[in-house]
Amino acid sequence: MHSHLLPGLDDGAEEMEESLNMLRKFVELGYKKAILTPHVMSDAYKNTPEGIREKLELLKTHARDIDVRIEAAAEYYVDEMLLSKLESNEEILFFGQHKYVLIETSYINESSYFAHVCFELQSKGYRPVLAHPERYIYLYNDFGKYEELCDRGLLLQLNISSLIGYYSPMSKKIAKKLIDNKMVHMVGTDCHSMKQVAVLEKAMQTSYFNKLRDLPLLNNTL
């Protein structure tokens, strides 16, 4: 889960052929299903459920010969627009039977909307999943903050490529600590391009990837 290969919707795949090549490589790596999550962000990516579903159906048409199931949700940036959508009962894209909603924040600063958005999501029956928690610099100085997130009912989704320090040495360190403390609930590829799929393949060969697979990950239920 968590990838950006619906073509032309965000900073991920730009063309259909790139999307198809990424799907083929996912199959080669052993993936049976992909949950595609384009960005939804007020300033940059104003994707709608209708637009995302339309692009998903187009991709399905082109990917008929690829042995992989594909679904779509979204990666919502925690901002005023998301809070407004929740307060006005607009459709929120989720995945899984338990209505998981993938969210992210700024890497530098915690969003002032974070607590309110999480409350609104949970009160409406959604289960917020925080994407790549190992990448948020504002959490680095106190590992207890990750425990607080879990205590508040948030699920943590680790990026596999963090295992080889693709984003930063610190994100690799935090990723390993989250795994050691069994605080990873889901894993994702977060792949935006074929280049990142190659990074993913390398990360899947590490010992910590095997540790990840030994955890009771919710990916197995999706």
Span 35-81, pLDDT tens digits: 999 999 988 899 999 999 999 999 999 999 999 999 999 999 999 99
Distance CA 12, CA 55 (A): 13
pLDDT at 61: 98
Q: For 151-219, give the DSSP string.
A: HTT-EEEEEGGGGGTSS-HHHHHHHHHHHHTT---EEE--B-SHHHHHHHHHHTTSHHHHHHHHS--GG
Question: 127 pLDDT band (50/70/90 cuts)?
Answer: very high
Look at residues 46, 21, 69, 48 and name the one whose alpha carbon lies nearest to residue 191: 21
Distance CA 38, CA 72 (A): 8
Question: pTM here?
Answer: 0.96
Percentage, residues of the chain above pLDDT 90: 98
Residue 157 has pLDDT above 90, yes or no: yes
Angle of CA points 13, 19, 21, to nearest 5°: 125
Q: Which amino acid is at 48?
A: T
Q: Where are the domains of the chain?
A: 76-221
Please, is 214 exposed, middle or buried when counting C-beta atoms within 10 Å of its C-beta (0-12, 13-18, 19+)? exposed
The domain 76-221 is placed in CATH, from the list 1.20.1730.10, 3.30.9.10, 3.40.50.300, 3.20.20.140, at: 3.20.20.140
